[in-house]
Amino acid sequence: MAKEYDIAKASGVCSTCERELAGGEEFVAALFDTAEGFRRDDFCKSCWEGRSDEAEKAFSVWHSRIPLPSEPKKPVVNNNVLVDFFEKLDAQSEPAKVNFRFVLALMLMRKKMLIYDGSSDEEGREVWTMHFKSEQAAVKVIRPELNAEQIAEVGTQLGALFEVEI
Ligand SMILES: [Zn+2]
């Protein structure tokens, strides 16, 4: 599969003042939707507070914390962050975003947060109808034609963006 998205991994460095974030330090992670794909920038709290323009341009924003040396290396991203990203990908037609949304749907199904209700053919595409466990509203997810290897690749990209096992 062509890599439509180059994803910059989390760096542990503030993208503005270029200071290395310390263990235990809270920071803000933001995803920007650029022509080259989603770019993740991390900001120390004081730099983020001075950049409301960035906050408006960001596709997704979440707060996180650098783990202490005694803690597991990968911080656990809040499920709400993933659900928020999933919902923002609704009605996006770029193939890479359709792929992200579908692979996130699989992950949310594994977490038993999203429930599969059925599939239908809409204009030649397979569309899954689903709902969140806590809500009645139907959620539509396009099923792109991805094989297991491609799904794993998309999962790796998502994992790099969010520092999470997908
Ligand atoms: Zn900074």
Cβ–Cβ < 8 Å for 142, 96: no
Ligand 1 center to 161 CA (angstroms)? 19
Number of structural domains, the chain?
1
User: pLDDT band at residue 165, thresholds of 50, 70 and 90?
Assistant: low
> Which is more confidently placed, 10 or 88?
88
Global pTM reads 0.84
Mean pLDDT of 51-80: 81
Domain span including residue 97 = 79-162
Distances (CA, A) of 58 to 129, 144, 151: 28, 26, 26
Averaged pLDDT of the chain: 88
In a domain, 132, yes or no: yes
pLDDT at 137: 95
Examine the pLDDT at 46 and tell me if it is beyond 80: yes
In a domain, 134, yes or no: yes
Q: What percent of the chain stands above pLDDT 90?
A: 66
CA 65 to CA 34: how far, in whole Å? 25
Ligand 1 center to 17 CA (angstroms)? 4
Ligand 1 center to 72 CA (angstroms)? 24
CA atoms within 13 A on the CB side of 9: 9
In a domain, 51, yes or no: no
Examine the pLDDT at 67 and tell me if it is beyond 80: yes
Ligand 1 center to 89 CA (angstroms)? 29
In a domain, 61, yes or no: no
**Which residues are close to ligand 1, an ion, with C-beta < 5 A?**
14, 16-17, 44, 47
- Per-residue pLDDT tens over the stretch 100-151: 999 999 999 999 999 999 999 998 999 999 999 989 999 999 999 999 999 9
Helical ranges in 20-94 per DSSP H: 45-49, 52-57, 79-88
pLDDT at 8: 47
User: pLDDT band at residue 11, thresholds of 50, 70 and 90?
Assistant: low
In a domain, 5, yes or no: no
Residue 65's CB is within 10 A of a number of other CB atoms, namely: 13
CA 57 to CA 34: how far, in whole Å? 10
In a domain, 44, yes or no: no
Ligand 1 center to 44 CA (angstroms)? 4
pLDDT at 91: 82
In a domain, 64, yes or no: no
In a domain, 12, yes or no: no
